[in-house]
Chains A and B, each alone.
Chain A
Amino acid sequence: KQEVTQIPAALSVPEGENLVLNCSFTDSAIYNLQWFRQDPGKGLTSLLLIQSSQREQTSGRLNASLDKSSGRSTLYIAASQPGDSATYLCAVQGGSEKLVFGKGTKLTVNP
């Protein structure tokens, strides 16, 4: 059974800092991995999708890497801003259509 773990559970940083969020998964036989952002009481916004054959994806100040063999992904946020404050969720898609999510990392960026 696939399990996804995100560390840390919560993170508080000053504005402008670069930061890394971690995601690990137990079964390396994945089809893709997706990072989402969730604001309080809202739905999920897709940030980056990495196919299993890819090593990384970039969008603006965000960079996500994937090491399938070790079961790890990282989300790097450069020059953090207060507007980046949210919960970040990692999800993997294996042989079936469903996504398996971690519990998320709650990020607070202080002005």
Chain B
Amino acid sequence: DTGVSQDPRHKITKRGQNVTFRCDPISEHNRLYWYRQTLGQGPEFLTYFQNEAQLEKSRLLSDRFSAERPKGSFSTLEIQRTEQGDSAMYLCASSRDLNYGYTFGSGTRLTVV
């Protein structure tokens, strides 16, 4: 059990550029989640996968955001045409099922300049 891995740890990008983040969940976990956290706030839910199926999306996930989980393994979160308001910590988590709770990764800190 190597934990949930996220890459990169930090990303600085110019406004208008596209960025992509990667998350590798714990191998036996079929559930994968993306959250966003801004300074001084708790994490907010973005989207959830069970295996390769994206089962729930928050209204926070605008058309500029897209997430995938091909083959039910790693997941990517892409943000197109980044805006300064996208600056946040993007957190990935995985879970075996509801009885076991979540395990979070270390997050990707995005700064849009």
Contact A98 B48 (CB under 8 A): yes
Q: Are A43 and B105 in contact (CB under 8 A)?
A: yes
Residues of B within 8 A of A (CB-CB), count: 29
B104 touches A97 (CB 8 A): no
Q: Which residue of B lies closest to A46 (CB)?
A: B101
Q: Does A76 contact B (CB under 8 A)?
A: no
A49 lies within 8 A of B55 (CB): no
Across-interface contacts of B48 in A (CB, < 8 A): 97-98
Q: Chain B interface secondary structure, helix, strand, loop or mixed?
A: strand
Contact with A along B40-57 (1 / 0, CB 8 A): 111111001010000110
How many residues of A are counted as interface, with CB atoms below 8 angstroms from the partner's CB atoms? 25
B107 located at the interface, meaning its Cβ lies under 8 Å from any Cβ of chain A in the complex: yes
Q: Which among B43, B45, B58 is the interface contact of A44 at CB below 8 angstroms?
A: B43
Chain A contact residues, CB within 8 Å of chain B = 4, 31-32, 34, 36, 41-46, 49, 51, 89, 91, 93, 96-104
